[in-house]
A and B are shown apart, each in its own frame.
Chain A
Amino acid sequence: MKQKYIRKVKNALPRKLRAEVLRDLEEIFASAAEHGETEEQVIERLGCPCNFVKEAALQLGVDLEKRKARRFAAAGITAVIVAVIFGISYLRLRMLQSEAASIGIIGGADGPTAILIAGPIINLTGILLAITIIAVIIALLFLSKLLKKKK
């Protein structure tokens, strides 16, 4: 009960407020227990974790929305970067593969060796492609959310 509450507050709190607020919560629970109160009673008085954090941030002039927006932007940018890096790697590998394939055709004797190498390369391209597609989808999701917010 108490641990769950504290954990929820911790996750919602901006980092710079964490140490102090978490210490205070420990004291609040400990003092109440000392006076024979249950954790439920304390939580009832504290209100829901998100409200507690919101109220504390409001009083301290800490902008939770801004923090959320910053995190949101960071996640979106990460998705775009991942999409670009993996996309480029995927295309490069495909190019190398088709080069290898054409070499393979010219030098007919290399055939079996080429197939042996191709095995793991195909797997790798598959993985690269999958990661690229996922990252692009995530990036698009962020973009659409961002556009919705702007409206």
Chain B
Amino acid sequence: MDSKVIQQFKKGSLEMILLSIIGRGETYGYEIITELNRSAAVLGYAKEGTVYPILYRLEAAELISCRIAPAAANGGSKKYYSLTEKGRQALSELSLFWADYCACVNEYLKAYEEEAK
């Protein structure tokens, strides 16, 4: 169950998932990874190697913003991400598209299943 197609799906939807997680409230890297890992059964274990590059792009596109604050717990600093207004807008557009997209794909799948009966 880890075919190329499935990997592409995961990759494509990760951006939306990240925007949703960050949109719920300011959060930081490790928390995002932990949150993603709650869905590890479906998404597979989250990897910093995949998540961070996407965060860089979201930040460059100004969909998220970040601030760096000193963190006593890890002896360094933590970067806190939050959704920008532009990010909120992008997410609502994505979410509309996603609903249409799912409905569309489902229709094909349903048509196939009915034909196969």
Contact = CB atoms under 8 A, between A and B. Distances in A.
Interface range on chain A (Cβ under 8 Å from partner): 20 to 34
Interface residues of B, number: 24
Interface string A68-89: 0000000000000000000000
A99 interface: no
B42 to A, nearest CB: 18
B88 interface: no
Contact of A30 (B45, B48, B53, B75): B75
Contacts of A31: 28-30, 74, 78
Interface stretch (A41-49, A122-130, A139-147): A41-49
A109 interface: no
Contacts of A58: 53
B26 to A, nearest CB: 15
A59 B56 contact: yes
A30 B60 contact: no
Interface in A32-70: 32-35, 42, 45-47, 51-52, 55-56, 58-61
Contacts of B53: 52, 55-56, 58-60
Interface of A: 17, 20-21, 23-24, 26-28, 30-35, 42, 45-47, 51-52, 55-56, 58-61
